[in-house]
Amino acid sequence: MSVTEKKSGKVLARDKDWWRGGVIYQIYPRSFQDSNGDGIGDLKGITGRLGHVAGLGVDAIWISPFFTSPMKDFGYDVSDYRGVDPMFGTLADFDGLLAEAHRLGLKVMIDLVLSHTSDQHVWFKESRKDKTNPKSDWYVWSDAKPDGSPPNNWLSIFGGTAWAWDGRRMQYYLHNFLTSQPDLNFHNMDVQEALLDVARFWLKRGVDGFRLDTINFYFADKLLRDNPALPPEERNDLTAPAVNPYNWQRHIHSKNQPENLDFLRRLRAVMEPYGAAAVGEVGDSQRGLEIMGEYTSGNDLMQMCYAFEFLAKAKLTAPYVADTFARLEKAAPEGWACWAFSNHDVPRHISRWNLTDAAARAHATLMMCMRGSACIYQGEELGLTEAELAFEDLQDPYGIEFWPEFKGRDGCRTPMVWERDNRNGGFTEGKPWLPVPPEHLPHAVSAVAADPAGLTAHYRHAIALRHAHEALLAGEQSDMRADGGVIRLVRTGGGERIFVAVNLADRPATIDGPGKGWNVIGKELGSVGPGSDGKIQLEPWQCSLLAAPAE
């Protein structure tokens, strides 16, 4: 029996469709738990702390990369797809983690970084030797322009040109991220097959699915045409900080290529016999929702994708939520989103949106009631804020490059806090790779997890409510609209309707209820019903959750 079934008190037919409406808990392994005192989290550390995660009632964990890597981008620069980096442990340690997660009823998804490798990968070492070796075409190589400049105007997300000169081949190679992260050439079928073999390796080992890093970056335009300029009025910072001129282009050639769909179908075919699921990261500031729809529509592509609308700086006001779903419905009526408010790449949403405890609860409630799957980032359930770090403590090359206008991603990657009365929060007995902020210690698991009125308990109740109602898991969504500062919607499925209204404002609101015949649910979340006049009075950040039989 799955965690979903145990927590809800109902037995739902989830089987291989567990992901549809499922709740995924993201673990950043460097910062979750250190088991050997070197100051860096590891696989054994994760295994020892899975009880906390399972206790939240989530369906799955997503583990950020733990593969062999020089760690220039902290594991997102892979040098061996089949190996565990020694700092994280061994393959045997991963097998132990997998077994314990499954014992606790948790699915395990691992982070596959397929668009690029480390420049230390054996594939790249061979590819860069000359223009005639067997892997010479495994990466995106191109001659210089006659004046010696790069082949086109493509830019790197981490700053500067997306091309690096290699004196061995006397050619440029493409890197959408660091120069030490060369992009693979997906137009080469041998590359595709090698990556599909990587997926097979982990599926055979027992993983339940993948989080696919930069899923829309796999293919580059075969002709390497210039990207057009993006008018200033259309620029935003959904996928790169505003100080980065990456935002000044419309990236129609450097990513988002139509050939990607055929590769995703091949990957889905590899996954299907194992009942595995995937969630793709769609990094695009202009067409994110549309691409998400393209990649998840139909039973032969990816199950889920997420765009960056709810990872952005823009606060989750009722009009913004309603507008996002309206655009999603227009662009991808058959697509399936996986929503997240925080992850390892953006400032924690408690700080990003300046949320009070009451506001954090309202956001968690909404997350578990919206159509789509949900992803929680470690520490979110504790109410952790973004850490303010000194420049000398930074590890992230992204932040070091653009400091101080952009402080990078270290502030959301500081260690998880387990014990309040421990200067390192119980994360390590050594010196942590990033400082543990003193202000995080009162939020440690030992201090808050057992509080029946605390934020962690609120997350448990919200997740349990989702699992108890098929309508909230996988039902249809209708009548979503902003009613002043209140977002309201109806979910339908499993023979019932669920009315959801969440006040996303810091002032009281009065709205019309859905009518007669509805019963209050989610009282543990502070849910209230209508008065005798049919109107619902909502305090700031309060919700109304009502259920009625399906019509």
Nearby residues of 473 by Cβ (< 8 Å), 6 or more positions away: 12, 20, 21, 22, 466, 467, 493
Query: Alpha-carbon distance 462 to 466, whole Å?
Result: 6
DSSP state of 544: E
Q: How far is CA 56 from CA 23, 263, 444, 512, in A?
A: 10, 35, 15, 33
Q: Could you say which of 183, 281, 380, 410 is catalytic?
A: 281
Q: What tokens were used for 93?
A: 């340690």
208 a catalytic residue: no
100 a catalytic residue: no
Cβ neighbours around 284 below 10 Å, total: 19
DSSP state of 139: B
Residue-wise DSSP of 328-363: HHHH-TT--BEEES--TTS--HHHHTT--HHHHHHH
Please calculate the CA angle 476-482-483 and round it to the nearest 5 degrees. Answer: 120
**E-strand spans in 439-525?**
476-483, 486-493, 496-503, 509-512, 519-520
Buried b (16+ CB within 10 A) or exposed e, 174-193: bbbbbbbbbbbbbebeebbe
Q: Could you say which of 73, 213, 309, 410 is catalytic?
A: 213
Amino acid (one-letter) located at 489: L
Amino acid (one-letter) located at 124: F
Q: How far is CA 151 from CA 104, 144, 547, in A?
A: 52, 5, 59
The number of angstroms, rounded, from the C-alpha of 493 to the middle of its chain's C-alpha atoms is 26
Residue-wise DSSP of 232-298: GGG---SSS-TTSGGGGB--SSSS--TTHHHHHHHHHHHHGGGT-EEEEE---TTTHHHHHHHHHSS
Is 163 strand, coil or helix?
strand
Is 50 strand, coil or helix?
helix
Residue 104, beta-bridge partner list? none
Contact 144, 387 (CB under 8 A): no
Helix (H), strand (E) at residue 109: strand 107-112
Query: Alpha-carbon distance 191 to 189, whole Å?
Result: 5
- Burial environment of residue 48 by CB neighbours within 10 A (0 to 12, 13 to 18, 19 or more): middle
Q: Any idea which residues carry the catalytic annotation?
A: 213, 281
